[in-house]
């Protein structure tokens, strides 16, 4: 009987693709996106990934499950805080129904390098210099730094005339890995460096999710003490609701793009299932509440596990925080371009806190978040000097820096702690009062 039930559940999942309803009339400030689907591992994360990949902002969300089914309701706006244009709604419906788009075709023929190690000023410049010296072109790259560590995914092409992907030459791969490992280790390595040819592309893992996994594996959530004043981490609490067998996670922090993706991604990769949840934003503040269990149905069972969840969620929130000044670099791509640009940063005392590198046709479109060598805000005179060397029309400051992550919270914020949502609010509001999905309050 158990075998039949398992096979039946699999059949239900295969036959019932997510049902998507998008309503642009109910709420005056946002577009409502409702997704009903059979419950399976990662289904919530897939829906959030589709929305964030379309550069939509999730202002509110209600998550609930009943038996074998999930119902998720998202209040979304475009990047400018406006309701969605009716012309794009059919495309969003199709994307949510079919799931996240595969990157396999776009990345065919590329070799993916995964790098982790101890961060230091100028490290990214050295990495790109090594790749240029080894005649490897960089098609795309994503770089995150957090808590003294660096993780990156670098998609490389072959600039030699062999016509074969880099991965086809095992000796060359070994040489690239050895050179990069030597650069990553440096003189002050505290945990060891890692270089590898990624299999994440073949497995269809989203690049942002893979970066979270790399930093989690590198234990960046273990805070390093410093002599100066430490930053206040995001406010995260975990409580046990014994009567219902849930662990209740509360998060309060500054709002930013893809915040919900980062928290749900971390819970999913730690093998927790979100059964109910509520997300709300108020100005620049975000409030999230999740009712979670292990995949086997059990709640968090020890203080050590509770503290680990708190640390990992705090790290996930901080990794993508936009430290520093955002600068955009757009020009015709050429051999050694990234090595030259990042060398100019290094020679002018700038450090890259985060980077997104991409190529479209013959154009290189790159975004860097830069600080000074100590991680402090950049002097605009330095930026002006760098722009003169690189080209004022090529390197532009795209926006003013966001509020600094390390700002101390006010006494009122600190006192409020993590008690914004009362225990049980999800059950009262999501399960028994689903009329909330037709409200913006």
Question: So what's the pLDDT on residue 162?
Answer: 55
d(CA 261, CA 49): 6
Question: So what's the pLDDT on residue 121?
Answer: 92
Helix (H) / strand (E) containing 139: strand 136-146
Neighbours of 400 (CB within 10 A): 7
| Distance (Å) of CA 150 to CA 90, 344, 356, 395 | 39, 20, 14, 24
Question: So what's the pLDDT on residue 321?
Answer: 83
Residue range 111-205+322-397, CATH number: 3.30.70.260
Alpha carbon of residue 363 to chain centroid? 25
Strands 194-197 and 235-241: unpaired
Chunk the chain into consecutive blocks of 10 residues (it has 441) and report each block's average pLDDT, rounded to whole numbers.
49 63 92 88 91 94 86 93 89 84 64 93 96 93 95 87 65 91 79 78 82 95 60 90 92 95 98 96 95 93 95 96 89 95 97 95 95 92 95 84 41 40 45 41 44
Question: So what's the pLDDT on residue 405?
Answer: 41
Dihedral (CA of 369, 371, 373, 376) sign: negative
Question: So what's the pLDDT on residue 80?
Answer: 87
pTM (predicted TM-score): 0.85
* Residue-wise pLDDT tens digits, 39-79: 778 889 999 999 999 999 999 999 998 777 889 999 999 98
Buried b (16+ CB within 10 A) or exposed e, 96-121: beebbeebeeebeebbbbbbbbbbbb
Neighbours of 376 (CB within 10 A): 13
CB contact at 8 A, 13 and 84: no
Per-domain residue ranges of the chain? 17-100+229-321+414-438, 111-205+322-397
Burial class (CB in 10 A: 0-12, 13-18, 19+), 180: buried
């Amino acid at each position: 009987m158990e075998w039949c039930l398992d096979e039946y559940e699999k059949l239900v999942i295969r036959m019932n693709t997510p049902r998507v309803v998008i309503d642009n009339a109910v709420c005056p400030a946002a577009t409502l996106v409702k997704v009903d689907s059979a419950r399976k591992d990662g289904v919530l994360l897939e829906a959030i990934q589709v929305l964030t990949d379309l550069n939509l902002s999730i202002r509110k969300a209600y998550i609930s499950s009943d038996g074998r089914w999930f119902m998720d309701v998202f209040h979304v706006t475009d990047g400018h805080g406006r309701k969605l244009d009716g012309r794009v709604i059919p495309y969003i419906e199709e994307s949510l129904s079919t799931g996240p788009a595969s990157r396999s075709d776009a990345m065919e023929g590329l070799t993916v390098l995964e790098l982790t190690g101890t961060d230091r000023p100028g490290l990214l410049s050295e990495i790109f210099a090594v790749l240029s010296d080894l005649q490897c072109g960089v098609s795309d790259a994503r770089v995150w730094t957090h808590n003294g560590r660096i993780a990156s995914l670098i998609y490389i092409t072959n600039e030699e005339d062999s016509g074969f992907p880099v991965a086809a030459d095992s000796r060359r791969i070994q040489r690239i890995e050895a050179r990069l490992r030597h650069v990553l280790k440096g003189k002050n390595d505290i945990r060891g460096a890692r270089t590898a040819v990624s299999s994440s592309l073949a497995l269809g893992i989203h690049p942002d999710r893979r970066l979270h996994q790399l930093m989690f594996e590198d234990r960046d959530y273990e805070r390093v003490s410093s002599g100066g004043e430490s930053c206040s981490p995001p406010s995260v609490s975990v409580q046990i609701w014994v009567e219902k067998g849930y662990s209740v996670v509360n998060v309060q922090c500054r709002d930013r793009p893809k915040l919900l993706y980062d928290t749900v991604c971390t819970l999913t990769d730690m093998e927790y299932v979100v059964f109910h949840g509520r997300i709300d934003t108020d100005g620049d503040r975000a409030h999230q509440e999740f009712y979670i269990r292990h995949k086997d149905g059990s709640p968090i069972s020890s203080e050590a596990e509770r503290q680990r969840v708190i640390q990992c969620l705090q790290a996930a929130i901080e990794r993508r925080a936009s430290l520093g000044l955002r600068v955009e670099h757009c020009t015709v791509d050429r051999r050694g371009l990234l090595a030259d640009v990042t060398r100019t940063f290094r020679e002018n005392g700038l450090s890259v806190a985060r980077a997104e590198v991409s190529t479209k046709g013959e154009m290189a479109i790159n975004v860097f978040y830069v600080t000074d060598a100590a991680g402090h805000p950049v002097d605009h005179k330095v930026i002006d000097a760098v722009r003169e060397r690189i080209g004022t029309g090529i390197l532009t400051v795209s926006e003013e820096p966001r509020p600094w992550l390390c700002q101390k919270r006010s006494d009122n914020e600190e006192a409020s702690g993590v008690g914004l949502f009362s225990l049980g609010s999800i059950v009262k509001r999501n399960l028994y009062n689903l009329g909330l999905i037709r409200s913006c309050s």
